[in-house]
Structures are given as structure tokens and as C-alpha cells.
Amino acid sequence: MPTTRTASLEAAVDAILAVTGGQVACGTPLGLGKPVTLLNALYGRVKANGILRLDILTALSLDIPRSKGGLEGRFLDPFVRRVFEGVPRLDYIRDLAAGRMPPNVGLYEFYFRPGSMLAFPAAQQNYLSSNYTHAGRDMVARGANVVAAMIAERDGRFSLSCNPDLTADVAQGMRASGRPCIVVGVVNRKLPFMLGDAEVPESFFDVIVDSPEHEHALFGVPNPSLDTADHAIGLYASSLVKDGGTLQLGIGSIGDGVAHWLRERHVQPDTYREMALALGIDRYEALVAAEGGFGPFAEGLFASSEMFTWGMMCLMQAGVIRRRAEGDSGPALQAGFFMGPREFYRVLRELPEAEREKILMTSVTRVNDLFGEEATARRQRHDARFINVCMMMTLFGAAVSDALADGRVVSGVGGQYNFVAMAHALERARSVLLLRSTREAAGRVESNIVFNYGHTTIPRHLRDIAVTEYGIADLRGRTDGEVAAALIGIADARFQDGLANAAKAAGKLPADWKVPFATRSNTPEQLAAKLAPLVARGALPSFPLGTDFDEVEQRLLPALAWLKANAHRKVALAMQALSATATAGDAPALERMALVHPESFGEHFQRKLLLLALRRTAPAAP
């Protein structure tokens, strides 16, 4: 059948309901590639008619940030209006958050926005625990009969753009099942047109919706801020990457820290060496010599990562990612999907064709595994470093990355298991798992290196390299006792004795084993002191990859974070805030927060709290 072209979302919904008989199982891309306007039209039609049924099979349903009022609202609401202007919101997420999801609609996700679904039993019950490479298979197995995606168009050509990861695979599996099915694309020319496997013929789609009214702004994910721990972890990890090798890199502030220090290693080697010396990286001289290096990237890196991030784009721009997969040909970067800040999308839209051709957006099964083209993958992905982030690590090297001990899912497995396993399958490859040594909530600090935990994502037998802000632990080929000792060596000093005692009680460390004296300085204060000279001269920027926050907002962020961290000290905060007074330098912050002329008691108190926080987080004098 020829592809139907229409400008009407309602016509597309009619076609979907006609093909499926009103019993819709809609597979739609994770993250950016969802056709939000079409999904909202379909959801609205099903919500209004209890005879119809809609199952949404997806992952990472993005939602525009919402404040809880107060100082948070004064900061966040104007920022959201500016940065997310014109970005539509998913109605099913709006209703889920409000407890209004109708009984004839089900949401099934294999990956959540981190932490977003902890308080929603329906989401927890409907979570699909799948490796990213198996998610498409599982969507088809659950009866997918619709694939709906936002697509790019250029000169009559079509591209899956940000999400060839599963889209084509699910469509192929769905059609092979023999059941009635339909593939719908909604054109948005603000979406970057990507080549290679992302480009598909018009015949791939049964229906294409194309009208200027559907070409809305793209969901941009603001870059996170980095602190000293992120920078330290980033520097350690960057030293383990071998020139001429292959890079896979995780997300978040820690991932951005790695990208930043890989770039600094290449373009600012003097700053890089100073940071390395401050952290005492000479302790790992042999490991770095064998697995990585400190110098610029003379050959460059080939990137093969499920997510193409803004950090990787920055590395391409800096000349770090430039090694072609096949010598003089092939991609310099291959990935399954992309998502990032608004600047990322602008850069991709404006890329010269010669640079665009170096980026292969492709199926996640090609990126996250070796099967199918194993010989080619092994040849291309030599000296690979699979660098990912976890929440916790047990004392014997098992990693906790996606869920809590009670079974509630924080995010999802994604591709992490695949990449860690691939590091053990490829010659000269290493898995590097990064984590902060501690976490803090309600004034209580807890270790992220734990003796044991009720859930694991990566089993202990796949342990390899672990990195915290206090150093590197090489765990591959080590005994349980050696692993426990190494991880205690990069744990926060406040928890080392407890970990050692637990290991001794279990017979995993000798009774006379002692925590090495040199690691007793693993404290936030000691780390801050080591890095203070670099902080003072601006060498550890909070937003090294750029930001959507203006200068005033960047000053407000640490102040608001300090208030949030100390929110459990309500009485003490109130007493201290009473004496807080404004200085001339506070005027921009007060104006941005609309607290120059407070009127109510509540506004006066908010002003006092803000001034207190600004004092407590003021930059140190040079």
C-alpha cells in the first residue's frame, strides 16, 4: 500500500484505530523521538472512549520540570518558561503525575527518568526489566501493533534522526508477526536530519503527518552542574582512555566530567597535568601507562555508545573523537539515540555534510552487542573503554545502578550490562564504573560503597575498574580479599572502618588487616583543599560544557542547593536567616527571584533565607 500523507493528527489517529480495531499497543521511541502531539491526540481519543484500549510501550518519557512553589518556584518557573517555550507536554505523563490515568490506558517502560517513578506504584508494577538490546523484542512480544515516531525531513527524504535505536527493529518485528499493524511518522524539521541507518525510505511509513503546526520546539535537557567530586572522578577516568582506542560514555554530571577532562587532556595539557598532580595520580602510574595515558590524542578515538551526548559532540569538535572505524572510512561515532541541550540540536542541524557523514545513528543492537557483525565490531572497537555510572558498589565489586533493595526501580538497566560484559569479551577492553563515594539526604551521609546490598545490576564476576573521587581500584583478576581492600581504599574515610570490620567478620579480610594510612585522608575537606588552587583560578568550572543558565542563575544554583541540603534544620535555618542582610552584590539575585520589594511575611522570610544561602555559598576570595 502507498504511504498516506496527511496534515491531520486526527486522520492519523483514525488510521491507527482502524488498523488495530481500537486495541492499540503503541511502540514509541525513548526520549526525544516521541511524536508528542500525535501521542496526545491518540491518548485523548482513547481516554474519552472506554471501549478503546491503549498500551504505550516505551522508555524515558520526558516531562517539563515543575516546581513546588516557594523559592524553588521563583527560580525554576521563569527558567522553564524560557528554556522550554513551545515544547509540548505528554498528556499521559501529566495524568500519571496527577493520579488521573484512565483504566483503559497502560504505560509500560523499560527505562525511567532517574528517580521519577519511585512514588508511582502503577509505573513500578508496569516496569519492563529488559536489556536495551532486548527491549524491541519484548515490545513485539507484548503485541505491538503501532510504531509512532517523530521524524526529520529534507528534500523529500526521511530520517529517524535521534531514534533509530529500536524504531526500525520494532517495525520489522511487528510486520513479521503477521498481525495488522501500522507505522506512523510525524515530521518535525527542527529535528536534525541524520544519515546512514537513520535514513529510511518513505515506504517505511504507512502514514506520514506533515504540517507546520506540528513542528514544535525540541525538548532540551539542560547540562548538569559539576562539583569537585565530578571533576576528580572525571580526571581519573579520563586517564584510563587509550589514544587510538574506542570510547563509550555514560551520562549525567559524572559523564560530563569525563568528557570535559578528556577534552582538557587534548587541548589544555598543562591544566590537565596540574589537576593530575593535585589528585596524586602518580599512585596509578603503572595502571595508567598500561591502560590509558596523560598526553593528547594523536590518533583520536572512535566512539561507539548507545547515547550520543553533548559531551561526545564537544569531543568531536575538539578533535578527540576523530578515529574512523575503518581507517580512512567509516564513522568516527556510532550511536543508537541522542538527546541533550538545545545547543546540541542546533549544532547537529548546522553540521557540514562532511562532518555529518562521520556520525552513524543506527540500531542499538549493533552498538550494544557484538552479535551479527562480530568480526567487524572486534576490529573497530579495539582498546575500548566502557565508562558508566553506578549508584553503589558492594565491597566485592557488584554494582547497583538501576534499582533499590526493595525492588523499586530508579531508572533501568539500559545498556550498562551489555557494555560491561562486552569489556570482558573484547581484547584489551576495560569496563570503568564511576560512583561518588557518598550520598546525603536529610543531613545524613551514607557510603555508596557498601558491604552488601539487596539488588545488583552488574554481578561481582564482571568487576573490572571502579573510580570514586578518591581514586581508582583495579579489580579485574583480583581475589575477594584484594577487591575489598582496594574498594575500602577509595571509600570515604568515615566509612572505612565499618567496611573493614564487616569484611573481617565475614572472613573476607584478615583479622589484623588495617586501613592504609594514606587513604585516611579520603574526606571532602581534604579533596577540596587539594583542588582549591584550581578552583580559585576557575579551572574547575561548574558548567564546562556550557549551560542554559545565565550568570545570575549560576550564582543562585549553589545557594538554593545549600538550602535544600539543610532543609531538615528548619529551626536553625530560621534563626540564622533573621540576621541576614543584603549587600550591593545581591541585587541581581534578588531581582531575578522577584524579592527586591517583598510584601507578605512569607516573601520577607524567603528573602532572608536566600540572603543567608548566598552568604554561605559565596565564592572564596582569591
Contact assessment for residue 146 and residue 382, using Cβ atoms and an 8 Å cutoff: no
Contact assessment for residue 391 and residue 448, using Cβ atoms and an 8 Å cutoff: yes
| Amino acid (one-letter) located at 403 | A
The strand order across the sheet containing 449-450 reads: 399-400, 392-394, 449-450
Contacts of 99 (CB under 8 A, 6+ apart): none
Cell of 408: 523499586
Convert 448-490 into a string of H (helix), E (strand) and C (coil).
CEECCCCCCCECHHHCCEEEECCEEEECCCCCHHHHHHHHHHC
Widest Cα–Cα separation across the chain:
77
**Which domains are assigned to the chain?**
4-214 (3.40.1080.10), 228-524 (3.40.1080.20), 551-616 (no CATH)
pLDDT beneath 50, residues of the chain: none
Cell of 458: 552488574
Contacts of 210 (CB under 8 A, 6+ apart): 5, 6, 7, 153, 186, 187
- Residue length of the chain: 622
Query: How far is the C-alpha of 179 from the C-alpha of 64, rounded, in Å?
Result: 36
The burial class, CB within 10 Å (0-12 / 13-18 / 19+), for 2 is exposed
Cell of 263: 577534552
Residue bearing cell 560484559: 421
DSSP string, 501-550: HHHHHTTSS-TT----GGGGG-SHHHHHHHHHHHHHTT-S-S-TT--SS-
Query: How far is the C-alpha of 412 from the C-alpha of 114, rounded, in Å?
Result: 8
Q: What is the pTM of this model?
A: 0.95
Q: What is the pLDDT of residue 584?
A: 86
With b for 16 or more beta-carbon neighbours within 10 A and e for fewer, the 67-104 pattern comes to eeeebeebbbeebbeebbeebbebbbbbbbeeeebbeb
Contact assessment for residue 432 and residue 424, using Cβ atoms and an 8 Å cutoff: no
Q: What is the pLDDT of residue 228?
A: 95
Contacts of 537 (CB under 8 A, 6+ apart): 622
Contacts of 2 (CB under 8 A, 6+ apart): none
Residue bearing cell 548507545: 306
Contacts of 268 (CB under 8 A, 6+ apart): none
Query: How far is the C-alpha of 79 from the C-alpha of 73, rounded, in Å?
Result: 10
Q: What is the pLDDT of residue 622?
A: 54
Closest CA to 592 of 545, 558, 556, 562: 556
Q: What is the pLDDT of residue 373?
A: 87
Query: How far is the C-alpha of 570 from the C-alpha of 573, rounded, in Å?
Result: 5
Neighbours of 570 (CB within 10 A): 9
Closest CA to 198 of 71, 335, 310, 329: 335
E-strand spans in 141-287?
Answer: 146-154, 157-159, 182-187, 199-200, 207-209, 246-249
